[in-house]
Amino acid sequence: MEIMSVQNSRVKEWAQLLERRGRDKQGKYMIEGYHLVEEALRAGASVEAIVYSLDKGMPDGLVVLAPEEVEWIGVSQAVLEKCSDTQTPQGIFAIGAKMNLGTDELLSGAYDLAVVLDGVQDPGNLGTIIRSADAVGASAVVLGRGTVDLYNPKTIRSTMGSMYHLPIVEADLQELLPRARERGVRLVTTSLQAQRSCYDTDLRQPTWLILGNEAKGVSPEVAAQSDVQVIIPMQGKAESLNVAMAATVLLFEASRQRLMNL
């Protein structure tokens, strides 16, 4: 199939996926770029169509990976530009169905190391945190209400494909966190006022690391649910770490303790 006009109804639907309202309405999102489409296919993510540049031709490497039911659509450069939020479109994108893991499934699994985000706003921060969680083999990432959309194109790009390697769940933290504690999960929040170092805290047991908004930190309501508050000690003069950096430090400390049993 080929589409040349930006006025085509399908092109208009794809362009709507650049906005959260369109993604929520359609239950779909856009995966732009060869590497991300490849990661989605390798992970068995739900991909319904792959849209490619007619000038560049069908990418043979992806044809081999794609299930038979995936629709291939060649388009003009004008269509690619209309459906991209980057200045230089990469010449290929896919349309995927949103992933649908629920909180019941999350709680029923062996999710002993997870990152919980309470109002993180920056797409780059969210993507980096997901990459760090993937790097240490964390069990899941939980997105509390008020957190930036996972399917924001900037978020997807910054995950570098890691969003397909571990479960990512959207949840009401006020409802989810008490249920997690009932199942033996220890809830650890970060706080600049905390007296306890993350390096002196046992992170080997089932632990969910809760991090908050870039400016305000963890909300008082969520902080009240936590079992322990920790701080990352700093010897220099910086007042605090970026939330993605803080999450990375905590994840790797938890991983170190588990690997060394310390």
> What does 92-141 look like in DSSP terms, one character per residue?
EEEEEEPP---HHHHHHS---EEEEEES---HHHHHHHHHHHHHTT-SEE
3-class DSSP assignment, residue 36: helix
How many percent of the chain have pLDDT more than 70?
A: 100
- Do 249 and 156 touch, CB atoms closer than 8 A? no
- Of 158, 160, 5, the closest CA to residue 80 belongs to 5
- What are the residue ranges spanned by the domains of the chain? 2-97, 103-260
Q: How confident is residue 262, by pLDDT bands cut at 50, 70 and 90?
A: low
User: For 56-104, what is each residue's pLDDT tens digit?
Assistant: 999 999 999 999 999 999 999 999 999 998 878 889 999 999 987 778 8
Assigned CATH for 103-260: 3.40.1280.10
User: For 91-103, what is each residue's pLDDT tens digit?
Assistant: 999 999 998 777 8
3-class DSSP assignment, residue 54: coil
Give me the torsion for CA of 70, 73, 77, 83, rounded to 10°.
-50
User: For 150-208, what is each residue's pLDDT tens digit?
Assistant: 999 999 999 999 999 999 999 999 999 999 999 999 999 988 788 899 999 999 999 99
State if pTM tops 0.75.
Answer: yes
The span from the CA of 158 to the CA of 142, in Å, is 17
User: For 105-153, what is each residue's pLDDT tens digit?
Assistant: 788 777 789 999 999 999 999 999 999 999 999 999 999 999 999 999 9
Give the DSSP letter of residue 45. Answer: -
196's tokens:
């306890």
Specify the fold of 2-97: 60s Ribosomal Protein L30; Chain: A; (3.30.1330)
- The pLDDT value given to residue 15: 97
